[in-house]
Structure 1
């Protein structure tokens, strides 16, 4: 597949480039979109892109993939990830910071147990304080932010999402931060940034960026 410059979203001065592709019956899958986006950004053929989905610590397929090829002109790493939700594929690539992508639908009705598993008590309290009509999209944004964060973390992503809290969408200009952390995140958790990405439909999408390696 081919992606044009008009498809690309630049996330401020982060150097991260994002595409959102509406998936149809004959549209390419998540992997194909990610390969095409990385290839177009790096200036290499899509067939040459090498992605390793195996976790470096346990070998399981979780978290964002490791880009084996291409490398940057100086021999540095590319970071890349993609996710799909509600028929939209979101892919992000960059060279500065490890990243992860999350896409979540805004559901009108959610069982309380789902929020208990996914959201920190502070997040649940603030969500309940919102107008009922606004709640589904804000909930989806919180879920997307956490999904992106845990994919960026990879193996550490086995942490229960309810143990951490992120800033509330709508109060941070679309760039989320961790506001309640866990010891597993170490001392640089305050450098994490989670950028919301505009997508069509009743969906929320985010790209999480970890501190520089």
Structure 2
């Protein structure tokens, strides 16, 4: 079995109206509150399209709810497809690129990071466990930023899959070195560990972005990427 990950550039004004037509009233309201609605609209339209393709449903009739694993509220947290308990989804977006994931394997998290987002002096302190700092030794320039972005995407994907998000300190989620196959090496957080977790890197076809997906499952992970 596999996880399907869609990746697409954020749309311009010409396509924004068409994608808004796919969203429900709540999503359109949330988009209208954003300073730049384009990334949000692109990502949520992509998610609807992926779920529709995998299930045969009409993308316009799909309904989503959020549930926070930490506090239990429905005001934020992981998205879930109403009426499809065996379909697990996740979404992520930045200024230029959006990704979404759909699978029946288990709870899923996907994350995409722009290299520029990893370009700050305190990255190691806020993101890495001491054992991970050595993974970046000797790297400079874009190579360093790419390694940082990939490491961050792996951690964020795992924390989205577990539902914890950044309630858990990302430095407590130890992942494999950037040059090695993606994996959760150790969960050091106080929160209950997630159990079997499969992690995969995602080639989104953009040299200035890195992405990863994580699924809570014991089964081997096959990632099918759809670039749009």
TM-score by length of 2: 0.74
How far is the alpha carbon of 1:128 from its aligned partner? 2.2
Between stretches 107-116 and 82-91, larger displacement belongs to: 107-116
For each residue in 1:37-69, what CA deviation from the matched residue of structure 2 results, as whole angstroms up to 9, or x when unmatched? 101111010122111123254315444312213
Q: Would the aligned equivalents of 1:106 and 1:136 in 2 still touch at CA under 8 Å?
A: yes
- Aligned ranges for residues 45-84 of structure 1 at < 5 Å? 45-55=58-68, 57-59=71-73, 61-69=75-83, 71=84, 76-84=85-93
CA distance in 1, matches of 2:60, 2:74: 24
Of 173, 193, 201, the residue aligned with 2:207 is: 201
How far is the alpha carbon of 1:160 from its aligned partner? 0.3
Gaps of at least 5 residues in structure 1 are 1-13
How far is the alpha carbon of 1:151 from its aligned partner? 1.1
Q: What value does the CA root-mean-square deviation take over the aligned residues?
A: 2.3
Q: Would the aligned equivalents of 2:9 and 2:97 in 1 still touch at CA under 8 Å?
A: yes
Between stretches 36-45 and 151-160, larger displacement belongs to: 151-160
How far is the alpha carbon of 1:184 from its aligned partner? 2.6
SS of 1:112's equivalent in the other structure is coil
The answer to which structure, 1 or 2, has the higher relative contact order (CA under 8 A, 6+ apart) is 2
- 1:138 corresponds to: 147
Gaps of at least 5 residues in structure 2 are 20-40, 219-228
TM-score by length of 1: 0.79
